[in-house]
Amino acid sequence: MKPHFSPALVREDLRDFAGYSSARTSHTGAPARIWLNANEAASASAIDPEGQQRRYPQPQPRDLVEALASCYGVNPAMVITGRGSDEVIDVIVRAVCLPGADGIVISSPTFGMYAVSARLHGVPVHDVPQTDLGDRWSVDVAAIAHTVRETKSKIVFLASPGNPTGSVIPTADLLWLATELSDAAVLVVDEAYQEFSDQPSVADQISDQPNIAVLRTLSKAHGLAGARVGTGIVHPQFAQVLLRVQAPYPVPEPVRAIAVAALGEVARAATAERIQTTIKLRSELAQILAGLSSVTAIYAGQANFVLVRSTGPDALLRLLADHGIVVRDMRHLPGLQDAVRVTVGTAADLEAIRAACTESGAWISPTDVEQAKQRIT
């Protein structure tokens, strides 16, 4: 028999919480002809002649949930969708952690929203820093398990591939940690960049290990950051808990329509092609940056960006800025006081970076990444 989701993982004071009962969720389903239960307008807005926006949307639009489930290869009962994975992160924190009591564990350098959501909810954040291995980063799952027990934390947030590291956490490590924490904590594996990696998703482990929660998003590989569509893939019983905590109508109708279209066959084929191009350009970008004599480390990783360390991050940022190229200064993060993160753009963007680097006079023109890496290490 498959294991259940442990109620002990849910915030104690919310275990019997029913959530907001909206007009959409409280309708019994009896056949109806005239809908007068939600105080919607009697006729369509002048800017919406066909009236597509007149009604409140379904809390979890059926067609979108099914399209996401099919895209990620999971059962629709395991899907919860919302305004970006940012919202799913927030909902998980609020559903699991009692403010002022339960904590979360992160492993820096990592995505900033875990700590932001925790802080806004009055939940302490415990950090078990990653180890820099020179060309990638490593997460210490044994130390994380220890910290969860010491601090009585209820959630571990790990991104794989990581942001800003680009490094993947071995599946065996993730499963070991989830098993170790079975009744103690939820392990959130943020797979925002999974499409760019060669490591499979851990989503299909959830039925055997119900304390795993996986985050996916349409913001990166699918090219829809503006639409704000994120997905939590969780045990069906945990999904029911999260839906009670989430805002009543988290998916606006125009967003539903765009996202369903983006998950159709034609758009998905184009997305798959863009992913392949990005992976190819990622190593070219790493190669170009490795040619800068000021660059001391390159983490090409398995996402859609490259992280670099430089003896002169200021000069590197200025050089790119002089050519109108904006990249992410990472110097505010602990352990990354000399680092810059560059997103993989188009082939033309890459040529602009190449031009900036070769013009700079600080470029040593390596013939390949390996050679550059040897210079660096």
Ligand X SMILES: *Cc1c(COP(=O)(O)O)cnc(C)c1O
Binding site for ligand X (CB under 6 A): 84-86, 111, 159, 163, 190, 192, 217, 219, 225, 230
155 versus 319: smaller Cβ distance to ligand X? 155
Instruction: Tell me whether residue 82 or residue 366 sits nearer to ligand X (CB atom).
Output: 82
Cβ distance to ligand X smaller for residue 84 or 313: 84
The least CB distance from residue 164 to ligand X, in Å, is 8
Helix axes of 347-359 and 265-290: crossing angle, nearest 10 degrees: 10
Separation between Cα atoms, residue 23 and residue 29, nearest integer Å: 11
Q: How far is the CB of 228 from ligand X (least distance, A)?
A: 7
Q: Which residue is nearest to ligand X (CB)?
A: 84
CA distances in angstroms from 132 to 53, 62, 106, 164, 258, listed in the order given: 50, 43, 16, 12, 40
Cβ proximity to ligand X: between 114 and 238 the closer is 114
Strand (E) or helix (H) holding 129: none
Query: Looking up tokens 């390159």, which residue turns up?
Result: 298
DSSP 38: S
How many CA atoms within 13 Å lie on the side-chain side of 62? 1
- Is 125 in contact with 113 (CB distance < 8 Å)? no
Give the nearest distance from C-beta 201 to ligand X in angstroms: 14
d(CA 289, CA 294): 9
Shortest Å, Cβ 168 to ligand X? 12
Closest to ligand X by CB, 225 vs 269, is 225
Cα(61)–Cα(294) distance, integer angstroms: 51
Residue whose CB is less far from ligand X, 303 or 319 = 303
Q: Which two tokens stand for residue 293?
A: 């004599």
Close Cβ partners of 348 (under 8 Å, ≥ 6 residues apart): none
Asked whether the beta carbons of 253 and 53 are under 8 A apart, the reply is yes
DSSP 3-state percent helix, strand, coil across the chain (nearest 5)? 40, 15, 45
User: CB within 8 A of 134, min separation 6: which ones?
Assistant: 297, 377
Spatial CA neighbour of 184 closest among 93, 102, 128: 102
**Given the complex with ligand X, which of 293 and 343 has the nearer CB atom?**
343
Give min distance, CB of 85 to ligand X, in A.
4
Task: Pick between residue 86 and residue 195 the one whose CB is nearest to ligand X.
Answer: 86
d(CA 316, CA 356): 10
Tell the smallest beta-carbon distance from residue 190 to ligand X (Å). 5
Least Å distance between CB 232 and ligand X? 11
Name the phi and psi angles at 168, rounded to 5.
-95, 150
Least separation in angstroms between residue 175's CB and ligand X is 20
- How many helices (H) and strands (E) in the chain? 12, 13
- Minimum distance, C-beta of residue 44 to ligand X, in the bound complex (Å): 31
Cβ-contact 199, 186 below 8 angstroms: no
Q: 205 or 217: whose CB is closer to ligand X?
A: 217
